[in-house]
């Protein structure tokens, strides 16, 4: 998939949300991995937080970021499994106007090549909420690397051809 080097790169302002009952900023490896990759790609970290696996807290944080003019995109890590405390997909879907089903499907396809059928336990998802992209990745560093390196680094680069999410940003609220 080619990058059109004749186009100027447009950095995306990304908020990073870690959903975990146990992680802190001091030991949030998946959040650190995500932040490092975002910055290395030339994007800006608009905000970063950790919230517990509580649907109301996740929705509250997402709703706040969606309203901010300095957040184009939210990427979360954690809470996408199948246990009782895993509520990130439901929270994301509660705030989204449109779901992007292909994101989860593509993630699981990529993940299958690495972890086999265990990928079925991931309910990662994505959507658009009032003009802001939201991507919910699983909580492991490996899953964050897969989601960023294989999908998001390309789709959040306005030079990626034949199309990308960035070029659609001005039209998300039509």
Residue 6 lies in a domain: no
Residue 5 lies in a domain: no
30 lies in which domain range? 13-169
Distances in Å between the Cα of 26 and the Cα atoms of 5, 29, 30, 49, 58 are 37, 8, 11, 12, 20
Residue 59 lies in a domain: yes
Token duo for residue 25: 């900023």
Answer whether residue 2 shows pLDDT above 80.
yes
Answer whether residue 19 shows pLDDT above 80.
yes
Residue 8 lies in a domain: no
Name the pTM for this structure. 0.97
Instruction: Starting at the earlier edge strand, list the strands of the sheet with 13-19.
Output: 44-51, 13-19, 73-77, 132-137, 125-129, 98-99
Answer whether residue 1 shows pLDDT above 80.
no
Number of folded domains in the chain? 1
Residue 45 lies in a domain: yes
Residue 102 lies in a domain: yes
Residue 146 lies in a domain: yes
Whichever domain contains 160, its CATH number is: 3.40.980.10
Question: CA-CA distance, 115 to 94, in Å (whole number)?
Answer: 29
- Over the chain, what is the mean pLDDT? 96
How high is the pLDDT of residue 143?
96
How much is the average pLDDT of 29-48?
Answer: 98
How high is the pLDDT of residue 174?
87
Question: CA-CA distance, 165 to 157, in Å (whole number)?
Answer: 8
Token duo for residue 146: 């897969």
How much is the average pLDDT of 30-58?
Answer: 98
Residue 118 lies in a domain: yes
58-104 pLDDT, tens digit per residue, is: 999 999 999 999 999 999 999 999 999 999 999 999 999 999 999 99
């Amino acid at each position: 998939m080619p990058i059109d080097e004749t186009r100027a790169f447009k950095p995306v302002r990304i908020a990073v949300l870690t959903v975990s009952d146990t992680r802190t900023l001091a030991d949030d490896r998946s959040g650190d991995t995500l932040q490092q990759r975002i910055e290395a790609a030339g994007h800006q970290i608009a905000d970063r937080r950790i919230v517990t696996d509580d649907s109301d807290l996740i929705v509250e944080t997402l709703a706040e970021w969606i309203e901010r003019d300095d957040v184009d995109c939210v990427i979360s890590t954690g809470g996408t499994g199948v246990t009782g405390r895993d509520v990130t997909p439901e929270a994301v879907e509660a705030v989204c106007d449109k779901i992007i089903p292909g994101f989860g499907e593509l993630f699981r396809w990529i993940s299958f090549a690495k972890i086999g059928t265990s990928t079925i336990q991931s309910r990662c998802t994505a959507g658009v909420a009032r003009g802001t992209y939201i991507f919910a990745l699983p909580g492991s560093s490996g899953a964050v690397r897969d989601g960023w390196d294989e999908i998001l680094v390309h789709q959040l680069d306005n030079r990626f051809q034949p199309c990308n999410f960035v070029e659609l940003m001005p039209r998300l609220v039509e």
